[in-house]
Amino acid sequence: MTTTAQTFGSALIGQTEKALNAILDRQLAGSGITEPQWVTLTLTVTGGGAVDRAELVRRVSGATQFDRASVAERIAELTAAGFLRDDDGGVQATDEGRARWTQVRTALGPITQGLWGDLPPEDLAAAGRVLNTVLARANATLAAS
């Protein structure tokens, strides 16, 4: 598929995000995990051990812009599915949750490597700086409204 290079802006960011989500959705198909649940599971697994529930809700909400009640629902769904354990010690991934997360991450690895693994480090650093600046400004705009 041939595409015309676009200038940097919201359309390019949006189309990139939609394409990356479509790739993720394909990998999640049949896993029993939705994209919002994936973010929640990922932040739990990468949190290293048990994560304080309120802290996990704050992290997921901050990363996704989902309201806190919605994040709590995702935690409940993942707990009911056996992917998370939610108790007084905090929220943690079960063995099944870690296995499912690892399975999807392993499938995504070669795909993401093919998407940007061969780009020059200086280009990746510049893209990271620009996207982090845009993200910080967008979050500040959301916080002000």
Scan for tokens 């949190």, then name that residue. 47
* Residue 131: alpha-carbon gap to chain centroid: 15
**What distance in Å separates the CA atoms of residue 131 and residue 134, rounded to the nearest whole number?**
5
Distance (Å, rounded) from C-alpha 63 to C-alpha 38? 12
**Cα-only R_g, the chain:** 17
Q: Is pLDDT at 3 greater than 90 in this prediction?
A: no
Give tens-digit pLDDT for 17-66.
999 999 999 999 999 999 999 999 999 999 888 899 999 999 999 999 99
pTM of the model: 0.89
Q: Is the pLDDT of residue 2 over 90?
A: no
| Residue 47, amino acid | G
Tokens of 65: 């812009």
104-138 pLDDT per residue, tens: 999 999 999 999 999 999 999 999 999 999 999 99
Per-residue pLDDT tens over the stretch 103-112: 999 999 999 9
Structural domains of the chain in order of their starting residue, each with its CATH number: 25-111 (1.10.10.10)
For residues 33 and 25, what is the distance between their CA atoms, to the nearest angstrom? 9
Q: Give the model confidence (pLDDT) of 82-101 as tens digits.
A: 999 998 879 999 999 999 99
| Exposed / middle / buried, residue 20 (Cβ in 10 Å: 0-12, 13-18, 19+) | middle
